[in-house]
Amino acid sequence: MGIATVNPATGEELRTFEPLTEEEVEAKLALAGARFEEYCQTPVLQRGEWLEAAAEILERDRHQYAQLITTEMGKPIKSAIAEIEKCAWVCRYYAEQAGEFLADVPASTSARQSFVRYQPLGAILAVMPWNYPFWQVFRFVAPNLMAGNVGLLKHASNVPECALAIEEILRQAGFPEGTFQSLLIGSEQIETILADDRVQGATFTGSEPAGSSLAAAAGKHIKKTVLELGGSDPFIVLESADLEAAASTAVTARMLNSGQSCIAAKRFIVAEAIADEFQQRLVEKFQALKLGDPSQEDTEIGPLATPQILQDLERQVQATVEGGAKVLIGGKSNSDSAGNFYPPTILTDIPSGTPSDNEEFFGPVALLYRVENLEEAIALANATPYGLGASAWTNQAPERDRLIKELEAGAVFINSLVKSDPRLPFGGIKHSGYGRELGHPGIHEFVNVKTVWIE
């Protein structure tokens, strides 16, 4: 796929970009290397002032940047505005907290003095997806620029204008030229960049195959990686749950970003005793959702980002139905309409042996399962290659404690939907990846944790 802005609501190609040449990439790498030597000496307080300025720009021009998101990947405009505001939040969080997170940590040993010091590594490559084109980047930018690293961004090829806008925001905020650079390149150029000695690590958010490929390339050159990959998050509703709260939240949790979110709830695992009522509420709420033009403020579900994503989702739903699943609502796109629209869909009576076993449904499709008890719910929730997040609904303390302990996920949310928060580490286990972004751990992923011993 070329590097281009294509409106997913209409299919119209609005702007195309030529990938950087090898010479242009080399110039940017040289700039990053030279800039790091100076930037790593910049006081944390100064870095924080620049990051605070970036937050102010994001808030001031949030409608402009939100419209860019909506145009390039189809996010409903209200959600796009919220994404920009969240980016400002993560900037402010790390601007305020980085000094504490990076401070020397004393250790009690037999030495006269011993401590741990955190120091930056160099240029870090971020390979980012299209689904949260600003947030995914800023949750990398904020901790890494505060740590003293410099950033190189290879963004998804369908959001080039978002990539360039982010670079310009940071430039306007005062960060020196070369501190953060967007590289408009194809994926085939990533391995060459990873091999360069001026690049010290890479963070990746996206599909499992692409993440595996990047990690293999980085490992060849002994470069650290952080991977945030796919998810097939369970949403467990037990008999003691507040059913209306669970059903209302279930809709929000499934329809995050029109269903195109790694931490969206995808498999709804409901206790048999309340399953009929929950199903009825869920169907009614899905029926009430407004699908349409993402630029309209009352639109709740926009188009999928690309025609390929739409085709993949249609294949998965068709294969699941052919395998014996029942369609409660939706289940088929309108092939005659323009844009990559897919209706809110609920599938139930889902047998094993269908794509639901081990694939991520990246769109507005809910998979509804019934279970007899807590043990069965936990077993089904864990019966997936993924382990990103899990939401569970119960008002019984023993059930809550078992869910927290036994669910195989990087995050467990009780009586709430799974979400990322700058104050908490974010990441998965199993095939959902490794390493953490955000929170205290997020700023330590790409630093030298240096032991100092003074006799």
By annotation, the residues acting in catalysis are 228, 262
- Residue 118: helix, strand or coil by DSSP? strand
- Contact residues for 305 (Cβ-Cβ < 8 A; gap 6+): 8, 73, 74, 130, 131, 158, 260, 340
| Closest by Cα among 302, 366, 295 to 339 | 302
- Contact residues for 241 (Cβ-Cβ < 8 A; gap 6+): 274, 393, 394, 395, 415
| Closest by Cα among 232, 201, 233 to 435 | 201
Element (H, E) at 327: strand 326-329
Runs of H (alpha helix) within 76-159 = 77-101, 135-147
Contact indicator for 204, 214 with CB cutoff of 8 Å: yes
Determine how many CB atoms are found less than 10 A away from the CB of residue 2.
13
- Residue 125: helix, strand or coil by DSSP? strand
> What is the 8-class DSSP label of residue 297?
T
Burial label for 166, CB within 10 Å (0-12, 13-18, 19+), is buried
